[in-house]
Amino acid sequence: MNKTLGTPWDFANEYISPNGQLSLEFGYVGEVAMGAPLSGECFLKIAKSKVKLDGMFGGPIVWSENSDKVAVPYWTRNRFQKLAIIDINEMKILISKRDFRVIELSKFENGLVYGIDSPIYRTEKIEFNVGIEKFSNEIKIKTGYNNGYK
């Protein structure tokens, strides 16, 4: 499986989990600044419900092999990126302590998220171990009212 997932400037509107039961879908997206990568609202779709996630997200995103976690670039208010790990079983979003410039993800295998930071200038490889990395924030995913989406 060697398909392209997109770039931070051009990524899919929806990423379906490997088991086909879930997806992350982008709503409105726009440039963070002129010529900069895209950022926007993101929704978790489970069965027939659609829940808006708190925060601004970018792409591309990658699902773990067993569909229980998904990694997605997360934009901060000061236009830095963090890596968000969405834990489906716990219904929470973990925000990395580590800052990134521009995240371009490629795969999520055996608890490791792979990609590159800053695909255009001074590129560095990303190898993010979900089990040992530190997280600065945890956001609970509110599912009770589905944010008005069905």
Q: State yes or no: pLDDT of 108 exceeds 90.
A: yes
Q: Tell me what the pLDDT averaged over the chain comes to.
A: 90
Please state the pTM of the whole predicted model.
0.90
pLDDT of residue 150: 40
% helix / strand / coil in the chain, to the nearest 5? 0, 55, 45
Q: Which one is predicted more confidently, 150 or 57?
A: 57
pLDDT band per the 50, 70, 90 thresholds, residue 144: low
Helix/strand number for the chain, H first, E second: 0, 15
pLDDT in tens, 109-123: 999 999 999 888 888
Q: Which helix (H) or strand (E) holds 50?
A: strand 49-52
CA–CA dist 95, 74 (Å, integer): 8
Position 147 scores a pLDDT of: 45
The rounded distance, in Å, linking the Cα atoms of 24 and 119 is 23
